[in-house]
Amino acid sequence: METESELRKIEEEIASCNKCPLKKTATRPVPGEGNCHAEIMFIGEAPGYWEDQRGIPFCGAAGKLLDELLLSINLKREDVFVANILKHRPPENRDPLPNEVEACKEYLDRQLKAIRPKVIVALGRFAMAKFFPYGKISRDHGIARLVDYGGQRYIFVPMFHPAAALRSSEVEKQLRRDFLNLTQGVERFKNSDQQEKSESDQKEKIINEQLELI
């Protein structure tokens, strides 16, 4: 309930936000939606035309492809949380400007803190840059790694944006392949974390036993 309440509060603040000029040219805010307890959070770049009209992220052609990709790994939109770096549509779908990214940063950071996903999938280079600023989407797409952000550790996977896949059959092939490999990459890091925790617990147990003997 606390998570849902916090997400609603963030939505209300986004709706009345005047930190940058985007609200003046947008039709609706697009804060994000999905499972507030999701293990996987998908983060895109910015709302497009249909997202701006409906206030829902990834509800146009790119969203249909995203839904199809989710089904390919036995997930539905209701299983994950989907958001964007920007919460209002840039005019003519242009690239986000640095001041706009900075203005929206607080809202996405608070969503991450509230939802506490284990996995972040960044769709496109602007989303990747938030967590992996020296990455290159053409080189690093589909590769899972651990990143520390905002005092939390996440399994992080950058991928091509579905909109880019609609423009290139080769990018679409790579995106589909990356989705199919997503589960395997995530499980590898989960198992690694569990092993590290087990080893840490064992070391702590040994230290405590030694202290009892002193």
Q: Answer whether residue 192 is part of any domain.
A: no
Q: Is the pLDDT of residue 211 over 50?
A: no
Full-model pTM: 0.87
Residue 202 confidence class, pLDDT cut points 50, 70, 90: low
Q: Is residue 190 part of a domain?
A: no
Please report whether residue 146 resides in a domain. yes
Total number of domains in the chain: 1
Within a domain: residue 160? yes
Identify the three-state secondary structure at position 43. strand
pLDDT of residue 114: 96
| Cα separation, 51 vs 79, whole angstroms | 20
Task: State which residues form the domain around 136.
Answer: 2-185
In a domain, 214, yes or no: no
The CATH number for 8's domain is 3.40.470.10
Question: CB neighbours (10 Å) of residue 193?
Answer: 14
Is residue 204, in this structure, part of any structural domain at all? no
Helix (H) or strand (E) holding 81: strand 81-84
> What pLDDT digit, counting tens, does each position of 49-76 carry?
999 999 999 999 999 999 999 999 999 9
pLDDT at 209 over 70: no
Inside any domain, residue 197: no
**Domain presence at residue 93:** yes
